């Protein structure tokens, strides 16, 4: 549920394996506040698979042209186009909206969803007093989201018309 730019610029040093956490520094966040992301078991498995590909370098997802440079701004959208998604169907940033919509419709706590998205409360007074990070709930939320993505993938493979 992070922004595409945050994903593209992910650093190896930001992944905290023992706590299954990704610590994004404030300078890379839209609101200029550090953001911690609980990593689902699926995300951890993917990271373990790709980790050796950038060994000895800073970026987790480097460009194909240079291990020192990040993926381009358009790399994720280009991958979606190659998968057959048209521009008006999906973009990389659209996964944030899709996750928020689907998780809200499934009854997850909206405050937890907003925290997972790295959003600040719009109500200035509430934002000043509510410093909750909803960590245990976010761990469950992101695992549920990853599990749902796995289920949709499984359905699409076994029955292309079901998903």
Catalytic residues: 3, 30, 93, 96, 119, 129
Residue 38 CB neighbour total at 10 angstroms: 19
Q: For residues 151 and 138, what is the distance between their CA atoms, to the nearest angstrom?
A: 20
Spell out the residues 6+ positions from residue 17 whose beta carbon is closer than 8 angstroms to its own.
44
Spell out the residues 6+ positions from residue 33 whose beta carbon is closer than 8 angstroms to its own.
26, 118, 120
């Amino acid at each position: 549920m992070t922004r595409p730019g945050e994903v593209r610029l992910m650093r190896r040093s930001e992944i905290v394996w023992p706590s299954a956490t990704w610590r994004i520094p404030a300078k890379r966040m839209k609101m200029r506040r550090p953001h911690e992301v609980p990593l689902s078991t699926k995300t951890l498995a993917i990271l373990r698979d790709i980790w050796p590909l950038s060994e000895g370098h800073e970026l987790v997802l480097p460009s194909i042209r240079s291990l020192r440079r990040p993926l381009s701004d358009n790399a994720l959208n280009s991958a979606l186009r190659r998968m057959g998604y048209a521009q008006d169907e999906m973009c990389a940033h659209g996964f944030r909206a899709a996750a928020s919509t689907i998780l809200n419709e499934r009854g997850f706590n909206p405050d937890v969803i907003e925290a997972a998205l790295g959003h600040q409360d719009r109500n200035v007074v509430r934002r000043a007093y509510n410093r909750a990070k909803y960590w245990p709930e976010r761990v469950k939320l992101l695992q549920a989201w990853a599990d749902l993505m796995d289920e949709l993938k499984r359905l699409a493979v076994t029955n292309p018309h079901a998903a």
